[in-house]
Amino acid sequence: MAKQRSGLRFQPSGGARGTAVPVGKKQRLSIERLAHDGRGIAHADGRTWFVAGALPGEAVEARVLTARSQIVEARSERIFTAAENRRSAPCPVAGICGGCSLQHLPHADQLALKQRTLAEQLERFSGLVPQEWAAPLVGPEFGYRRRARLAVRWDVKAKRLEVGFRAAASQAIVAFDDCLVLVPELQSLARELPELLRGFAKPQALGHVELFQGTASALLLRHIEPLSDGDLARLLEFCSARDVQLWLQGDGEPTPHAGNADLGFRLDTWNLTLAYRPGDFVQVNAPVNEAMVVQALDWLKPTADERVLDLFCGLGNFALPLARQVREVVGVEGVQAMVERAAANARANSLANTRFHQADLSKPLAGALWAAEDFTAVLLDPPRDGAFEAAREMRSLGAERVLYVSCNPATLARDAGELARQGYRLKRAGILDMFPQTAHVEAMALFEAS
249 and 309 belong to one structural domain: no
Q: Element (H or E) spanning 321, and its range?
A: helix 319-323
Residue 3 lies inside a defined structural domain of this protein = no
Do 170 and 121 belong together in one domain? Answer: no
Round to whole Å and give the CA distance between 351 and 277: 21
Within-domain flag for 274: no
How far, CA to CA in Å, does 183 sit from each of 79, 107, 180, 189, 342? 32, 18, 8, 10, 26
**Does residue 36 belong to any structural domain of this protein?**
yes
Domain shared by 216 and 295, yes or no: no
pLDDT averaged over 10-residue windows placed end to end, the chain, 450 residues: 39 52 96 97 96 97 94 96 96 91 97 98 97 98 97 93 90 93 96 96 95 97 95 97 96 90 96 96 97 98 97 98 98 97 98 98 91 95 97 95 98 98 97 98 97
Same domain for 319 and 247, yes or no, is no
8 Å CB contact between 274 and 313: no
- DSSP assignment, residue 199? T
Q: Are residues 343 and 309 in the same domain?
A: yes
Burial 111-133 (b: 16+ CB within 10 A, else e): bebbbebbbebbeebbebebeee
CA distance 255 to 42: 49
List Cβ<8 Å contacts ≥24 apart for 324-328: 324/270, 324/272, 324/351, 325/297, 326/302, 326/353, 327/353, 328/353, 328/354, 328/355
Measured distance CA(268)–CA(273) in Å, rounded: 8
Domain-ending residue, one of 86, 101, 126: 86
Among residues 237, 209, 235, which one has the least CA distance to residue 224? Answer: 209
- Same-domain status, 441 and 297: yes
Residue 219 lies in a domain: yes
Based on the residue annotation, tell me whether 407 is a catalytic residue of this protein: yes
Residue 81's CATH number: 2.40.50.140
Count Cβ atoms below 10 Å from residue 78 Cβ, excluding itself.
11
pLDDT at 18: 58
**Domain membership flag for residue 104:** no
Number of domains in the chain: 3
What is the Cβ-side half-sphere exposure of residue 5, based on CA atoms within 13 angstroms?
A: 2
Q: In angstroms, how far is CA 201 from the centroid of its own chain?
A: 35
Q: Does residue 248 lie in a domain region? A: yes
Strand ranges of the sheet holding 424-432, from the earlier edge strand across to the other edge: 132-133, 424-432, 442-449, 401-406, 377-380, 307-311, 328-333, 354-358
Residue-number span of the structural domain to which 49 is assigned: 26-86
Whether residue 132 sits in one domain with residue 113: yes
Residues 343 and 371 in one domain: yes
CATH number at residue 186: 2.40.50.1070
Kindly state whether residues 151 and 210 are assigned to the same domain: yes
107, 180, 109: which is closest to 145 by C-alpha?
180
SS3 at position 83 = coil
Query: Which CATH number do you get for residue 349?
Result: 3.40.50.150
Edge-first strand listing for the sheet containing 160-166? 173-174, 160-166, 147-155, 206-213, 217-223, 244-249, 255-256
Q: Pick the catalytic residue: 91, 97, 313, 407?
A: 407
333, 374: one domain: yes
Q: Is 212 part of any domain?
A: yes
Residues 440 and 308 in one domain: yes
Choose one of 237, 256, 275: the last residue of a domain: 256
What's the whole-model pTM score? Answer: 0.93
Both 127 and 246 in one domain: the answer is no
Let me know if residue 117 belongs to a domain. yes
> What pLDDT is stored for residue 63 in this prediction?
96
